[in-house]
Structure 1
Amino acid sequence: MTEQPAEIDCVEVATTAGRVRGCWRPTTGTGGARRSAAFLGIPFAEAPVGRRRFAAPVPKAPWDGVRDALAFGATAQRGDPGITLIPEPSIPGQCTLTVNVFTPDPDAQGLPVLVWIHGGGYFSGSPASPWYDGRNFNRDGVVTVTLSYRLGFDGFGWIEDAPSNRGVRDWLLALEWVQQNIGAFGGDRSQVTIAGQSAGGGAVLTLLGMSAAQHLFSRVYAMSAAFADVAAARAEAFGRALAGSGGVAPTRAGLSSLSEERVLELQKKATELDAAGLAAVLDQGLPLGPVVDGDLILQPTRDSLQAGVGADKPLVVGAADDEFTMVMTGAEKKLRWVPRRLLLGKLGLPAAALRGYLAANADVAAKGKARLAGRLVSDRMFRTTVPGIAAHRGSAPTWLYRFAWPSGHFGFAEHCLDVPFFFDCLDGPAIDPLAGPNPPQALADQVHAAAVAFVSGGDPGWPRHDGRGVARVYDVPVRDVADAYASVRPLL
């Protein structure tokens, strides 16, 4: 509620809880709207602290006057820049449940809406990334929202007397906020596309499979989706073990007696990704994330999709070709004396699938054991999900893609590489460590334009999935390929 310097070009909007003040900024690129209004750090819920820690989110109480929305709110991620090469800053503070809204015109009516859920393995990540700025979606007529949610144990850990899936409940309340308020920013609540990458991709697929969430969105765009679907028994065992390590009862009272820093310390120890931890993730999925609790999430997402939940919602789903190959970078010398069969077996490749997998990935195998091992990890964690989800959806409107352009830094298409192409922000910060120098703007133009087309009209512009398995392959040149995920078929 502070007075702003005259040089800031401010704009105000009335939400259901009170007025907010944002500011105008320029867009980049060519064509479309030349400016974008950003409203940052708008709380959709009360701060999840004190008696509200480990509780379901509570809608933000109304305020008087005009609330400044000129800076990002506090993040659930604490004291680190995230675990990926996406710049995702941590911002201190208690009010971590906020939305950021970017609009080309608050006075418009009926603009399509993109809601972005960030990734980070469900324990890291930040909506304050400059890569997630919606200015260039605004340029192309799309209102954009990014949301925050509780991470790690606070968001997803089992506690005896606490509501489960608190992070999922945060997503739902934020999407309810969008339904109630997006019209004031020029958006159409009946045209909401939820999108995300990595854990964010898993989040939007989780929501797609939830009957209770169907009224909150109309389309889904899932990038490199990292599923959790944690079994209830596994979640309870993890929660009891973490509480035991902290010397407290596995209750709200017991865990609330531990500081936030102590819980994060215990969580980090319990989720260390050494060789055994990687094997567990490949076999069982992530240990913290949406839980099949029988209450909010009734059954695994794949089962829900196969049963027809969300079948009326258009879906784009895809992955990068070598998502986690970078974890094997530099390991070629260490792997020199490890038999290929043993190496792939340790990474979960069944002996019966070895010959077929090697034949289907002969081009990668020729590049050495590290590249082959990285491809297998990528396939098991991310790439098998794409044709699997398409198969579960049957005739539901589904489009597949592969992001195959090799990074100018790594030499392959690694995890997160497609994000700045999607947001059309190759002129943004920290691009070089991920993409190398001079990534192709023409490719970003095509990736972003397809996303805009899908958010605006429900069709990204290439043939939808059918028996031929056609997918858009984002490389130079862009092309549509039949049976584009043939290389993962031996794992299915």
Structure 2
Amino acid sequence: MESTQTSSTDPGIVVDHPEVRIAEGVVCGRWRDTTAPGSGARGNLRSAAFLGIPFAEAPVGELRFAAPEPKRPWQGVFDAAAFGPTAQRGDPGVTLIPEPSVPGESTLNVNVYTPSPVAAVPGTGLPVLVYIHGGGYFAGSPASPWYDGRNFTRDGVVTVTISYRLGFDGFGWIEDAPSNRGVRDWLLALEWVQRNIAAFGGDPSRVTISGQSAGGGAVLTLLGMEQAQHLFHGVYAISGALGDVTAAKSEAFGRDLAAQAGVEPTRAGWAALSEEQVLVLQKKATELGPDALNEIVDGGLPLGPAIDGDLILRPTPESLRAGVGSDKPLVLGATDDEFTMAMADAGKAMAFVPKRLLLGKLGVPKDVQKEYLAANADVVAKGKARLAGRVLTDRMFRVAILKIVQDRGSAPTWVYRFAWPSGHFGFAEHCLDVPFFFDCLDGPAMEPLAGPNPPQALADEVHAAAVAFIVGGDPGWPRYDGTSRIARVYDTPSRDQADAYASVQPLRRA
């Protein structure tokens, strides 16, 4: 390696790989290339990556279905050269982002990317981004090459990606087990950041949490949790899908799944089943019919953060209305057509269905159907599959954005729309904005999602606004308020637009 650093274990020894001493022991990372600003090509800038650092003991054996237990200190040097095991097993076949599964037991780990792997003096550290992956709370992986923090580190931001337990292991109700185990994993990972990030050059008093889809829902959940407020200082929610599973629904699902498995709904009962058996049961129980997306919009997810009266005291909107998190700046938004891709094959089946009947089937009340069709005339002109996709997108994501803004009142909130149409699909689908946020258009598996030659200039804009927010608490466009309702519309060209969510307002008023 060209770059060297003094060993943290012996200052007199120079090593080829960066070493950092944290509370649990010494970790050894690797130097990495970043990308030259605006080029979309690897440059000569260097940063350090520390991968797979455990923040908790492996959740197996006696710790399976338990609250996460902080990682005990280790002797020697932990080699942080490769991603740690993931909670995701195999290929769930649902993610649009390359998110590899890594086998192994120690699934609760963090990845740290830093431009300066040298301990920071309090008050002088770099701002920190903590990213929580999506995947419907049952899939996803922090080992995605799209989540590599190299280009945030290029811009002076220490970046952390975290893993957490998924599906029933993370969120399923068990009679004598701690609730919301996946949420407890988020909290412990954020506590790890508070305790250790200064050793990597970061400032624990300048932490922004971000995530996409279920990860966006995760950071909104944390924003509404009293117990999490000291762990972060800003929130950037990308296509956030809130869980807010009711206690009754969570318990009913847990009891039903245990009955299907033929075990008692207790830790002892579930411990009799292997991880593979639980995954099979979970998959079967969560399979939905032909109206799957509409079922999710109407009934919510069966597994996800639950209102347990312990960690999550009330639905997140109620917490926001009560002022929880009102001191935290928030950026949130969505793509224009999150779910349209899922309706692509339904066009022929919808051909002879009247528009009003279609809207009713998709949950649009009769008294706003005419207004909604008029407000979305451009989408209506593109066919019923596009209209159906837009309705589901609005009901699941975009109406929620407007409600969250209203719930937060005068709290500092910025809104965006990602409207640039994919060169492959012809519309802005779910996950499309993620590589723009990370400025990784040179990453793998890009063309199937974004098409050939996605605009680097747009990635520069989206990424720069994210950096500005993480660094200074302002993404660079006007706050959203109830009068002008200005949002940033990301497209070619991008613009600040008044009443940018006007097409969603009929559903908001329904």
User: What's the TM-score, normalizing by structure 1?
Assistant: 0.97
Matched, 1:253 2:268: yes
Q: Which residue of 2 aligns with 1:366?
A: 381
Deviation at 1:30, TM superposition (A): 3.0
Preserved CA contact (<8 Å) 2:85 2:106: yes
Q: Which residue of 1 aligns with 2:27?
A: 20
Q: Which residue of 2 aligns with 1:188?
A: 203
Deviation at 1:415, TM superposition (A): 0.3
Counterpart selection for 2:59 from 33, 45, 48 = 48
Q: Which residue of 2 aligns with 1:490?
A: 506
Question: How many matched pairs?
Answer: 485
| Structure 2 Cα separation of the partners of residues 368 and 437 of structure 1 | 25
Q: Which residue of 2 aligns with 1:171?
A: 186
Deviation at 1:275, TM superposition (A): 2.8
Counterpart amino acid of residue 28 in structure 2:
R
Q: Secondary structure at the match of 1:204?
A: helix
| Structure 2 Cα separation of the partners of residues 44 and 445 of structure 1 | 33
Preserved CA contact (<8 Å) 2:84 2:102: yes
Q: Which residue of 1 aligns with 2:284?
A: 269
| Structure 2 Cα separation of the partners of residues 114 and 391 of structure 1 | 26
Deviation at 1:273, TM superposition (A): 2.9
Counterpart amino acid of residue 61 in structure 1:
R
Preserved CA contact (<8 Å) 2:20 2:118: no
> What are the ranges of 5 or more consecutive residues in structure 2 without an aligned counterpart?
1-14
| Structure 1 Cα separation of the partners of residues 243 and 280 of structure 2 | 21
Counterpart amino acid of residue 169 in structure 1:
R
> After superposition, where does 1:470-481 map in structure 2 within 5 Å?
470-481=486-497
Matched, 1:63 2:74: yes
Higher mean C-alpha deviation, range 27-36 or range 407-416: 27-36
| Structure 2 Cα separation of the partners of residues 276 and 461 of structure 1 | 40
Matched, 1:76 2:92: no
Q: Which residue of 2 aligns with 1:292?
A: 307
Q: Which residue of 1 aligns with 2:426?
A: 411
> What are the ranges of 5 or more consecutive residues in structure 1 without an aligned counterpart?
1-7
Q: Which residue of 1 aligns with 2:10?
A: none
RMSD in angstroms over aligned alpha carbons?
1.2
Deviation at 1:277, TM superposition (A): 3.8
Q: Which residue of 1 aligns with 2:4?
A: none
| Alpha-carbon displacement from aligned partner over 1:95-117 (angstroms, at most 9, x marks no partner) | 00000000001126310000000
Deviation at 1:487, TM superposition (A): 0.9
Q: Secondary structure at the match of 1:113?
A: strand
Q: Which residue of 2 aligns with 1:242?
A: 257
Q: Secondary structure at the match of 1:206?
A: helix
| Alpha-carbon displacement from aligned partner over 1:373-404 (angstroms, at most 9, x marks no partner) | 00001111111111111110010000000000
| Alpha-carbon displacement from aligned partner over 1:47-101 (angstroms, at most 9, x marks no partner) | 0001100000000011000010000000000011652210000011000000000
Higher mean C-alpha deviation, range 195-204 or range 381-390: 381-390
| Structure 2 Cα separation of the partners of residues 174 and 444 of structure 1 | 29
Preserved CA contact (<8 Å) 1:227 1:286: no
| Structure 1 Cα separation of the partners of residues 173 and 190 of structure 2 | 24
Deviation at 1:283, TM superposition (A): 1.0
| Structure 2 Cα separation of the partners of residues 452 and 217 of structure 1 | 16
Preserved CA contact (<8 Å) 1:81 1:90: no
Deviation at 1:274, TM superposition (A): 2.0
| Alpha-carbon displacement from aligned partner over 1:401-437 (angstroms, at most 9, x marks no partner) | 0000000000000000000000000011110000000
Higher mean C-alpha deviation, range 440-449 or range 338-347: 338-347
| Alpha-carbon displacement from aligned partner over 1:460-482 (angstroms, at most 9, x marks no partner) | 00001112110000000010001
| Structure 1 Cα separation of the partners of residues 48 and 231 of structure 2 | 24
Preserved CA contact (<8 Å) 1:409 1:432: yes
| Alpha-carbon displacement from aligned partner over 1:109-143 (angstroms, at most 9, x marks no partner) | 31000000000000000000000000000000000
Preserved CA contact (<8 Å) 1:134 1:423: yes
> After superposition, where does 1:61-460 map in structure 2 within 5 Å?
61-80=72-91, 83-107=94-118, 109=120, 110-460=125-475
Counterpart amino acid of residue 69 in structure 2:
V
Preserved CA contact (<8 Å) 1:82 1:124: no
Q: Secondary structure at the match of 1:333?
A: helix
Instruction: Call closer, same or farther: CA 1:274–1:195 in 2, change over 3 Å.
Output: same
| Structure 2 Cα separation of the partners of residues 486 and 287 of structure 1 | 31
Counterpart amino acid of residue 116 in structure 1:
Y
Preserved CA contact (<8 Å) 1:33 1:140: no
| Structure 2 Cα separation of the partners of residues 246 and 81 of structure 1 | 21
Counterpart amino acid of residue 24 in structure 1:
W
| Structure 2 Cα separation of the partners of residues 358 and 166 of structure 1 | 42
